[in-house]
Structure 1
Amino acid sequence: MRKYGIEVAAGVVPVLLVFLYMLGINVIPFVFLVVIGGAVFYTARGRGKLTAVSSGKKRTEVAASNFTFDQIGGQHRAKQELIEALDFLVKREQIAKLGIRPLKGILLAGPPGTGKTLLAKAAAQYTDSVYLAASGSEFVEMYVGVGAGRIRDLFQEARTKAKKNGKSSAVIFIDEIEVIGGKRDGGQHREYDQTLNQLLTEMDGIHANELPRILLIAATNRKEMLDPALLRPGRFDRHIGVELPDKKGRLHILQIHAKNKPLAEGINLDRIAEQTYQFSGAQLESVMNEAAIYAMRDSAGAITVKHLTSAIDKVMLGEETDRESTAEERKRVALHELGHAIMAELVRPGSVSQVALSPRGGALGYVRHQPQQEQYLYTKSFLNGQIKITLGGAAAEEMFYGERSTGSRGDFEQAVNIVKMLVESGLTEMGIVDASMMTPDKWAEVSNGTLNEQMAETKEMLEKSRAVFEHALDILLREETLDGSEFRELMRQVSAA
């Protein structure tokens, strides 16, 4: 009936306007009224710019996804915690007997690329639920009330699609929840506040005795920005950390992404896992993919160690560039990188994975390090050693040229950040202090004092290894790359001579 009503109106209105025009009546005001009425009707129907769901397009759910937790690597603890929370949806009779209130929301917090979206998809598969995904930015609009309307429509759509597909539950995943869930400061951001208020209202409206049940899963890498009202129990009941994988987790991820790729004989993925310290799951997937691309470039039938090493360097620093530097620049860069490498071996023996002179990204050369073991707590001596390693390049330039170059700028930024960590952790002579109360002059005093002290010690240690510089320089300039084991053997031979 609605369809025929629209067709009748579309035919009658033009005829009526022509009739009035022939009678000599000014029809322009009527035309304006018709246009304005049509615009309002168009917006109310959900196809205008003010609509709660952009362009009136329905959100596509991934109800038929076969993505499971077994396909996610490196997040064993997060998976176990999430599965336990999801059992409240799956084992309904058991939780009813124990009087457990089902969870309304689960917050996944962690760095980018660690698999938060994949965990949400696997959660929908595990609970046999309809899965709807959205990003926080989808609910932000310049018009007040639009975001709140989109929140209402999202929850309503989840219920409707769950009933339509015969599901008893629906999983709503909102990525970048901090966009709409940020702390309210009493400012003029009425649109953001209304959107957040509507989200809180919808979560309060999720009841255990209603079908279909709604589970909201949100992801963020900035949990500290979220409003306390959103984080309290009864809304986001579980906060699950999805952190960067450790060595065992990295190995698992590499094995998953290596299943459909031909690896050459003798490839040791455990060694690759060691060299990819602090890599996220997304970066590890990229390493395997880039290694396959390198193999294709070489027309190789399988991925070799060389391809994997190049892929790691590309993910860390970018693609090799064709910059042509002068012979003097190459020598300076080689001495700079050797300074980093020698200092790293003196401070942490066995930590150098590769010394390279080939330019990548914005770097003219680089040293790739690998920790001997995972470490989560740092002492003052450890951090001072890290400062020495970062200053090794500048110290080497001063040793051989009497001055530094602009190539040390990034090293100094890292060193200053380490000093900041020392201060905030109460590991300096000042003791435990509130870093926010320190003045810029005090920060400068502490940084200069610490860095000058560490620079002096770095020069003294490197001066004792001048012979290593002289022997390794020609080899690095000729070969452009030194493997960590080769470099350590060279240092051993020079020391024994």
Structure 2
Amino acid sequence: MHRMEIIVGTGVGILAYLQWKGFNILPVLFLLGIVAALFYVGNQHAVGRSFAAMDSRKARQSLIRFEDIGGQDVAKNELCEALEFIKNAAQVREMGIRPLKGVLLTGPPGTGKTLLAKAAAQFTNSSFLAASGSEFVEMYVGVGAQRIRKLFSQARDTARRNKLKSAVIFIDEIDVLGGKRGQSGNNQEHDQTLNELLVQMDGLSLEDEICCLVIAATNRPEALDQALLRPGRFDRQVRVDLPDKKGRLHILHLHTRNKPLAEAVDLEEIAADTFGFSGAHLENVANEAAILALRDGAGQIEMRHLRSAVEKVILGEKLDRTPVAEEKQRVAVHEAGHALVSELTRPGSVATVNVAARNNALGYVRQTQESDIYLYTKDQLLDRIAVALAGAAAEELMLGSRSTGAANDFKQATDVARQIVFAGLSELGVVSADDLPRDLLHQTVRSIIQNAGDKVNALLAGNSDALQRIVGVLQEQDSISGAELRAMMQKIA
């Protein structure tokens, strides 16, 4: 670096001296510009030639196995079936089975697609090379295709060097590389790179010295070019979904096995509280709980640390914002309304009620459920609308007016009401979302919300003593657990 600075400084000094002596230095500057441009282009191609994916030896040292991945039993079983042609190549050849050349992993971020690819390499005793789709995207024609060839060549070379008979090539975010051709924004270089990937995959065979399997991952399978998805390329599409309660419990056990847990810790309760969490979220919960325990000077992770970690992952860190007394009262009334109606419509649904500000929320009610729900009835959707409307209704009942804090609640209620209409559960019956007049949709949504609002007003009016008691406790101690809330409601009843 110092040598380059000396050369540049000397060159500038010489040019300045020549200019001072009256020489015309424009031709020299022009030649230097051409040399610099050629050097830059050559350097870009050198990057293509020196492209290297992750070294398989490092990946193998981590020893990622399918047993180390929780909550994806269906995906693991389907992937293991696809890997049999590598593990039992001789038997597959005898049966005349065409080998699977590619497996596409699809699903939300953080669900373990990369871990599944690493486990596949371990399962088949293969070398493992990883790359991202963005690493093949270049503005210079031919560089991306060259990197594709280099990746497949290196996969075989790495397997030979490690005396292995197979290689797993993992391409993350393949939608960047394999997006639909002919779309706006695509160019010749993109098409050429994708074509090279198709050619390389077509060339894979069981007769090769090194058997290669391409595993790709994406969050947007609908964006992929159809040529990638046809049989003979990515033959299998494995859906890697968010884990269910059983899977979340397994993941929590995996991520807390090296952490000191108190005897009273109930991971099953945490698994129930984290519906919709991915594996990455759950790992973050375990890590944040350990950080909170360390911050408190505790020798073990307790339930309060895990509950606080869940809230932190969902809503962010607590803020130092201190509202005035009137505002805190309004927040307490608002959240008490949500919590009370939630418990009245679905007993046992409240996990925590809190009026301490986190991120953009001045207060919140965190709900839980005994089991994961994927289908909703009309009554369940109406109950969700009622809970959303309860905060503003409680403010109006106890304080005589509403506030802007209910804006997001109203949006949520409107979205659920639209879901009722488009699912054919409203008085309109089965309708087409494209053909339904906007005025009729507005009137129907308004009617649904109005009926739910009347129910909420009746529930709050009939349980005003419980509402006032919850508000008072929230103003004193900022938060109430679900168990405390239910005990309080039973005493008042």
- Give the 3 Å change call, closer, same or farther, for CA 249–186 of structure 1 in structure 2: closer
Q: Are residues 1:323 and 2:321 paired?
A: yes
Separation of aligned partners in 1, 2:31 and 2:203: 40
Separation of aligned partners in 2, 1:148 and 1:483: 58
Aligned with 2:328: secondary structure?
helix
Match among 47, 53, 56 for residue 48 of structure 2: 53
The C-alpha deviation readout for 1:471-494, integer Å capped at 9, x for no partner, is 111111111111111101111121
Corresponding residue of 1:226: 224
The C-alpha deviation readout for 1:5-61, integer Å capped at 9, x for no partner, is xxxxxxxxxxxxxxxxxxxxx9998997898579658755xxx2355638x353332
Q: CA deviation at 1:188?
A: 5.5
Q: Are residues 1:138 and 2:132 paired?
A: no
Separation of aligned partners in 1, 2:142 and 2:51: 19
2:85 partner amino acid: F
2:101 partner amino acid: K
Aligned residue pair count: 466
Aligned with 1:142: secondary structure?
coil
Q: CA deviation at 1:468?
A: 0.9
Corresponding residue of 2:165: 168
List runs of 5+ in structure 1 lacking aligned partners: 1-25
Match among 290, 295, 298 for residue 297 of structure 1: 295
Separation of aligned partners in 2, 1:432 and 1:377: 17
Separation of aligned partners in 1, 2:270 and 2:32: 68
- Give the 3 Å change call, closer, same or farther, for CA 163–33 of structure 1 in structure 2: farther
Separation of aligned partners in 2, 1:29 and 1:483: 78
Percent identity reads 50
- Give the 3 Å change call, closer, same or farther, for CA 188–315 of structure 1 in structure 2: closer
Separation of aligned partners in 2, 1:117 and 1:422: 37
- Give the 3 Å change call, closer, same or farther, for CA 441–265 of structure 1 in structure 2: same
Separation of aligned partners in 1, 2:150 and 2:25: 39
- Give the 3 Å change call, closer, same or farther, for CA 145–361 of structure 1 in structure 2: same
Q: CA deviation at 1:284?
A: 0.8
Match among 270, 273, 276 for residue 275 of structure 1: 273
Match among 455, 458, 471 for residue 456 of structure 2: 458
Separation of aligned partners in 2, 1:211 and 1:416: 60
Aligned with 2:374: secondary structure?
coil
Match among 414, 421, 424 for residue 422 of structure 2: 424
Q: CA deviation at 1:144?
A: 4.2
Residues 5-404 of structure 1 aligned to structure 2 (within 5 Å): 40=38, 43=41, 48-50=43-45, 53=48, 56-63=50-57, 64-65=60-61, 66-187=63-184, 189-190=186-187, 191-404=189-402
Identify the range of structure 1 (356-365 vs 423-432) with the bigger mean alpha-carbon deviation. Answer: 423-432
1:60 partner amino acid: M
Q: CA deviation at 1:369?
A: 0.7
CA RMSD of the aligned region, Å? 2.5
Separation of aligned partners in 2, 1:450 and 1:185: 44
The C-alpha deviation readout for 1:169-212, integer Å capped at 9, x for no partner, is 11111111122222334545123333322222222222221121
- Give the 3 Å change call, closer, same or farther, for CA 174–345 of structure 1 in structure 2: same
Separation of aligned partners in 1, 2:150 and 2:224: 23
The C-alpha deviation readout for 1:452-482, integer Å capped at 9, x for no partner, is 2322222222221111111111111111111
Corresponding residue of 2:5: none
Aligned with 1:362: secondary structure?
coil
2:147 partner amino acid: R
Separation of aligned partners in 1, 2:431 and 2:194: 36
List runs of 5+ in structure 2 lacking aligned partners: 1-23
Q: Is the 8 A contact 1:62 1:132 kept in 2?
A: yes
Identify the range of structure 1 (292-301 vs 63-72) with the bigger mean alpha-carbon deviation. Answer: 63-72
Q: CA deviation at 1:431?
A: 2.6
Q: TM-score w.r.t. structure 2 length?
A: 0.88
The C-alpha deviation readout for 1:284-333, integer Å capped at 9, x for no partner, is 11111111111111111111111111111101110111001011111111
- Give the 3 Å change call, closer, same or farther, for CA 41–163 of structure 1 in structure 2: farther
- Give the 3 Å change call, closer, same or farther, for CA 200–420 of structure 1 in structure 2: farther
Identify the range of structure 1 (145-154 vs 466-475) with the bigger mean alpha-carbon deviation. Answer: 145-154
2:208 partner amino acid: E
Separation of aligned partners in 1, 2:430 and 2:120: 44
1:85 partner amino acid: A
Match among 468, 471, 481 for residue 470 of structure 1: 468
Q: TM-score w.r.t. structure 1 length?
A: 0.88
Q: CA deviation at 1:258?
A: 1.1
Separation of aligned partners in 1, 2:190 and 2:436: 34
2:102 partner amino acid: G
